[in-house]
Chains A and B, each alone.
Chain A
Amino acid sequence: MANLILKDLNVFSETLYEKMKQINPGISDLELYEFRYCLTDLLPEKGWDSVKFDSRIEIERRVNSREFYDGIQIKPRLGERVVLDNPIILLAQMLFVGLVTGEYPPEWIDRHFYFDIRGFYFLHRTEYFTAGVLAHLGGRPYKNFEQKQKGFERLQAVGYKDFMRANAEVDELFMKSVNKIIAFRGTPILLAIAGPTAAGKTEIVERLRIAFKQAGQNVTSIELDNFLTDRDEREAKGIHSEGRQAIHFELFKRSLEDITHGKKVSIPYYNSVNGISSHNLDGSLKPDGVPIEIVPADIIFMEGNFPFLEKDVLHLIGLKVVYLTDDPIRIKRKWKRDIDYRKKYDPSYFRNRFFKDQFIMAQIAYLPQMETCDMTVDTTGAALWTTPEIAAILRKGK
């Protein structure tokens, strides 16, 4: 029976269409023929019955190993076009066939993967709330609200207005909490916000900035990117954009020390277009380099992927926040923002890169920072998490 289904393209796609509605209810918004259009790109050359299965244990092992993601190519080409990378295609094909034949139970698929409709592929769910993180954040959220992002389940792309509305409650509590902590800890204060791409960092920082200004406080920001060393140097050494080796670390540390003491600082300028820093590797200003002057302020923002990854600067940061949105929502935000509006990437390159980066970035950046942060805002879970110490400050303020 199963074999017959695999041999007939139409029967296979119709069966899969029905089963996929359970995995992602947004599939119900597609007509069968639309579903088939999407599926055509993933048809195995030798038919669905040629797809080989791996055991569930084997699949779980693979999608939880760094090597698997390191091996994903972001710009594989077929002719002139960038295409989806083969291991991603094989995984999707395997899950499709396993779902149709019953080899993989839908609950198992759902536990480990989510299906992005716009990209029409399965992605591994990244785990952010690990045992280590939960232990650091007291095991349960400080407060949680109704999870309104559930309303995006059927959407193929999410714009900022919808996103902001869904996060209203947790964002408001977060902003209030930041104010309480600043009142408690005093200014000047360095406020660092880390978070994955499209989690909503920039927007929440912008709202905080406006709120602080309205309250009469001076605000400035330090962009971590400006501390990057020349791109050529980093590439020659195989360092990317993370870690202290990638930045003028001594300068960075000194700048943070000075600005938190109310002193004016002069920081490097990194030109992201040509990849050149205003400073030499030894931290001296290049003859033609022009640094950036930052005047002291009450609140100094530091936003980025790794603002408090380096243990040596942790003591300088007054409040360490991770602003988190779960991967399935972030990819929908990126479809809208980076593909539809900014038209920044080739869609297949984007699919490969998103698939590849989330696991790696969680390992190298977000999990370590969640384990040292003061607070984590989980917009998808609509929950504010804090360390017991911060929770005590917040309760005192009530």
Chain B
Amino acid sequence: MSGMDKSPNQQPLGAATTADDFSVRLFEVMKRINEGIEDLELYEFRYALDNLIPEAGWDAVTLEGQEEIEQRVRNCDFFTGIQLRPRAGGRIVLDESIVCLNRMLFAGMVNGTYPEEWIRALFYFDLRGFYFVPRTVYFTDEVRAHFGNKPYRCFEAKQKRFERYQELGYKDFKEANAEIDQAFIGCVRQVILARGSPMLITLAGPTASGKTEITERLMTAIQEIGRKVTTIEVDNFLLDREYRDDKPMGKESTHFDLFLGSLKVILKGEKIAIPRYDFVNATSSHDINSKLKAGCTPLEIKPADIIFMEGNFPFHIPEISSLIGLKAVYLTDDPIRLKRKWKRDIDYRKKYDPAYFRNRFFRTQFLRGEDIYRPLMKGCDIIADTTGATLWVTPELVELISLD
């Protein structure tokens, strides 16, 4: 029953900046940082801000220098230190260091310490989560150089219109990506036609990039040119959860030798029997030595012209990399992926506690970028960047498909 006229009353007596004043000023500044803020009434903005008001008032927030902040958000330690499930009064809450960062940015913007351009360059503001998240850099100089410093194709960046959205469903997303998706599918098809089979194609991309959806469409497209396709789910090679200790996908968390061996066999045109991973119990059909457990059955996969693997596996590690005929990365920028996940994982699947989700998204994007995507991108063959609406193809591949 707290009315809008009495919500921001936590400021101490005599504070130079009252919570009311502060929120009015912040509201104006924030409209320039994220134009979606304009869709909120001031009192709605205050409702959202209430959760972040410092106990001792906004004047009590200590501001760090810009350089110090930059260093922090470019350092793995900062992100690995984020707790996923900190609790206050029985509820999961936003991690304290995320809260501190946000208070600092809010206070520093209102008093003019931090330039808006600097904030915008380093962070994006997610409306639904009502927090700043550091931008992940995917296109480093190295990645650009690997692709000859310019994209192969550019389209209109239609995801721009999602800027004001608080969450995003698949229909809108698909519509915005129509051109880049078509170009990407066309390009993969050309590579298949230009190269022999069997061929192993991998598609990696961060969570909620749209991998599953584009994979389905790629499969149909490949079948249309008369090629037989099969898929291998990398997740099936996962070790029992107890052996993985939260390690990300890679050599140490999978039946790696078995994985490598299976790929070699299927690429010779022979069928394979691979482990089965049970997500409900978080166990593999195979033991830690990659031997079939008693009472378990492996998964049989028949050979095909095109073997497709989708997932967050570091496909760039040399042993695997050499077996892959086409390494693709399907990328969507973090702010859009976060909006997709609000809709898909929170609204529709109701999969996570919203505060846990905010902590987790904040924590993992930088780390995954560091561990998987940047290394993968500087060694892959093709990148579809749906947000930039650009298709990046290596010079060698460009040559191959233009010969065709």
B50, B166, B347: which contacts A118 (Cβ < 8 A)?
B347
Closest chain B residue to A351 by CB distance?
A: B350
- Give the distance in Å from the alpha carbon of A304 to the alpha carbon of B346 in the complex: 32
> Are A347 and B350 in touch, CB under 8 angstroms?
yes
B349 part of interface (Cβ distance < 8 Å)? yes
A129 part of interface (Cβ distance < 8 Å)? no
- A-contacting 9-mer, from B35-43, B96-104, B237-245, B314-322: B35-43
For chain A, residues 340 to 376, give those with C-beta under 8 angstroms from any C-beta of chain B.
Answer: 340-343, 346-348
> Are B51 and A343 in touch, CB under 8 angstroms?
yes
> Are B170 and A159 in touch, CB under 8 angstroms?
no
A217 part of interface (Cβ distance < 8 Å)? no
For chain B, residues 345 to 366, give those with C-beta under 8 angstroms from any C-beta of chain A.
Answer: 346-350, 353-355
- Give the distance in Å from the alpha carbon of A160 to the alpha carbon of B48 in the complex: 14
**Most chain-B Cβ atoms within 10 A of its Cβ — which of A34, A38, A303, A339?**
A34
> Are B40 and A340 in touch, CB under 8 angstroms?
no
> Are B170 and A31 in touch, CB under 8 angstroms?
yes
> Are B171 and A31 in touch, CB under 8 angstroms?
yes
Which A residues are CB-close (under 8 A) to B404? none
- Chain A 191-214 near chain B by CB (<8 Å), digits 1 or 0: 000000000001101100000000
Which A residues are CB-close (under 8 A) to B39? 159, 161
Which B residues are CB-close (under 8 A) to A120? 348, 350
Which B residues are CB-close (under 8 A) to A348? 350
Closest chain B residue to A162 by CB distance?
A: B39
B47, B344, B349: which contacts A40 (Cβ < 8 A)?
B349
> Are A156 and B347 in touch, CB under 8 angstroms?
yes
For chain B, residues 24 to 56, give those with C-beta under 8 angstroms from any C-beta of chain A.
Answer: 39-41, 43-44, 47-48, 50-51
B247 part of interface (Cβ distance < 8 Å)? no
> Are A30 and B44 in touch, CB under 8 angstroms?
no
> Are B47 and A34 in touch, CB under 8 angstroms?
no
- Give the distance in Å from the alpha carbon of A305 to the alpha carbon of B1 in the complex: 9
B269 part of interface (Cβ distance < 8 Å)? no
B152 part of interface (Cβ distance < 8 Å)? no
A337 part of interface (Cβ distance < 8 Å)? yes
Which A residues are CB-close (under 8 A) to B48? 341-343
A30, A118, A161: which contacts B41 (Cβ < 8 A)?
A161
Which B residues are CB-close (under 8 A) to A206? 3-5
**Smallest beta-carbon distance B131→chain A, Å:** 11
- Give the distance in Å from the alpha carbon of A376 to the alpha carbon of B306 in the complex: 67
Closest chain A residue to B43 by CB distance?
A: A160
**Smallest beta-carbon distance A307→chain B, Å:** 12
> Are B350 and A342 in touch, CB under 8 angstroms?
no
> Are A340 and B43 in touch, CB under 8 angstroms?
no
> Are A34 and B170 in touch, CB under 8 angstroms?
yes
Which A residues are CB-close (under 8 A) to B3? 202, 205-206, 303
A68 part of interface (Cβ distance < 8 Å)? no
Closest chain A residue to B127 by CB distance?
A: A340
For chain A, residues 28 to 45, give those with C-beta under 8 angstroms from any C-beta of chain B.
Answer: 29-31, 33-34, 37-38, 40-41
Which B residues are CB-close (under 8 A) to A81? 353
> Are B344 and A37 in touch, CB under 8 angstroms?
yes
> Are A225 and B1 in touch, CB under 8 angstroms?
yes
B residues bordering A, Cβ < 8 Å? 1-5, 39-41, 43-44, 47-48, 50-51, 91, 128, 130, 166, 169-171, 174, 343-344, 346-350, 353-355
User: Can you list the 4 inter-chain pairs with the closest CB atoms, starting with the nearest?
Assistant: A341-B48, A341-B47, A37-B348, A342-B47
A residues bordering B, Cβ < 8 Å? 29-31, 33-34, 37-38, 40-41, 81, 118, 120, 156, 159-161, 164, 202-203, 205-206, 225, 272, 303-305, 336-337, 339-343, 346-348
| Other A-B pairs, 5, CB within 8 Å; known A159-B44, A304-B1, A341-B47 | A31-B170, A31-B171, A159-B41, A161-B40, A337-B44
Query: Can you offer 13 A-B residue contacts whose CB atoms are under 8 A?
Result: A29-B169, A34-B170, A37-B348, A37-B349, A118-B347, A159-B41, A202-B4, A203-B43, A206-B5, A336-B44, A337-B47, A341-B47, A342-B51
